[in-house]
Amino acid sequence: MSITSDIKPFVWYELPEEYQHLCVVRAFVKWILVSGLKEGYLFRKIRANDRLAEENEPMTSEQFLEMFWNNLLDVGVDFVPYGTHSFRRGWSQEFTHLTIVKYLISWNDNPHVDRDDFFNMNCAPTTACPTCNRTCHCA
């Protein structure tokens, strides 16, 4: 049995136009179009001159960290406090897509919202009563 077998997927929704800069769906589609990838690793190793590796070789955590730091510098944020730990909610020596997804699940996630609706902006918010723990869309 895999230690990641209990990780359930998140459902992503295209955000409205005014939130396009935060939209995972739009970013994913743009990456697929720009990269020209049709199979294999989604985030491949980057070669000289910012070219994707032609062979199906994954990006290393070190390369990801360097690129992440460069992105922070581009937007004027001090990169020193940030490492790959910034993308986790725990500790692991494994750097795989399943590990990354596992750390998207937090102790403070709202158990009263269906997992499929975590990123659904069209879903009405629910408020849990602190006494009885019941929820209602009209609260």
The pLDDT of residue 106 is: 56
Cβ–Cβ under 8 Å, residues 83 and 65? yes
Q: Is residue 6 part of a domain?
A: no
Q: Is residue 12 part of a domain?
A: no
Give mean pLDDT, residues 64-81: 91
Q: Is residue 4 part of a domain?
A: no
73 secondary structure, DSSP code: H
**Which pLDDT tens digit goes with each residue over 43-56?**
889 888 988 888 89
In the three-class reduction of DSSP (H, G, I as helix; E, B as strand; rest coil), residue 127 is classed as strand
Side chain identity, residue 1: M
**Which pLDDT tens digit goes with each residue over 88-118?**
544 556 666 666 665 565 555 566 677 788 7
Confidence of residue 69 (pLDDT cuts 50, 70, 90): very high
DSSP string computed for 21-47:
GG-HHHHHHHHHHHH---SS-SSBPEE
Cβ neighbour number for residue 131 with a 10 Å cutoff:
6
The pTM is what?
A: 0.56
The pLDDT of residue 2 is: 45
Structural domains counted in the chain: 1
The pLDDT of residue 117 is: 81
Q: How far apart are CA 41 and CA 35, in angstroms?
A: 11
Q: Over 90: is that where the pLDDT of 73 sits? A: yes
Cβ–Cβ under 8 Å, residues 41 and 58? yes
Confidence of residue 136 (pLDDT cuts 50, 70, 90): low
| Domain with 34 in it | 17-136
Q: Is residue 5 part of a domain?
A: no
Q: Is residue 11 part of a domain?
A: no
